[in-house]
Amino acid sequence: EMLTLAAHILERRIPLFEEYLEVGRDIRWRRDHGKSIETPIAYFRRVPYLVPARAGDHKAIWELNRHQHLVVLAQAHLLRPDARYLAEIQTQMESWWQENPFQYGINWTSALEVAFRALSWIWIFHFVGRHFDAAFRRRFLSSLAQHGLHLERNLSVYFSPNTHLLGESLAIEALGRLIPEFPRAGE
């Protein structure tokens, strides 16, 4: 089943909400694919993510950006080593970094979503990080550190604080414990 899912993901058919989203060659990470609405690259606090007419369904956008499908590729690589899995992870992450600079865009508006993505990336790194070249590994870890910094300074204290804070705290703890070379990891 894992290898079948991975084959779909390699074809850019991402499993979301019990169906497949065909994202095409160039993934639009800030787009509500169902409504064809795309949010701009703007400082995250200026993105009107709660206005469906301007942003579409933010939850549909965020689901793709949790990168759980990339964890599937990493797991598939563990089951059956294949350079295509690693190349697809790298391609999609580089695309994501290009479209979602640190703290810009809808994918930075919810700290809980940043936490979910960081947790996915931690699993990816744990499973296959040693297979990436040094430059990509540095970029990967640098972006993970940015996720931790964003979480530290933007906790959901006023918005769904109970469940959101639990997820955000888990991601911060995981980042600090699993990647101790991060600045401020001990804190």
Q: Is 141 exposed, middle or buried (0-12, 13-18, 19+ CB in 10 A)?
A: middle
Residue 21's pLDDT is: 95
Q: At residue 161, does pLDDT exceed 80?
A: no
DSSP assignment of 35-51 equals: TTEE----BGGG--TT-
Length of the chain: 187
Computed over its alpha carbons, how large is the radius of gyration of the chain?
Answer: 16
Residue 187 near residue 176 (C-beta atoms within 8 A) = yes
pTM of the entire predicted model: 0.95
Task: Say whether pLDDT at 162 is over 90.
Answer: no
* pLDDT score, position 179: 86
Does residue 174 carry a pLDDT above 90? yes
Question: 160 pLDDT band (50/70/90 cuts)?
Answer: confident
∠ CA(5), CA(79), CA(26), 5° rounding? 40
70-88 pLDDT tens trace: 999 999 999 999 999 999 9
- Over residues 147-159, the pLDDT tens digits come to 999 999 999 988 7
Q: Could you give the percent of the chain with pLDDT greater than 90?
A: 89
Tell me: the pLDDT tens digits for 24-77?
999 999 999 999 999 999 999 999 999 999 999 999 999 999 999 999 999 999
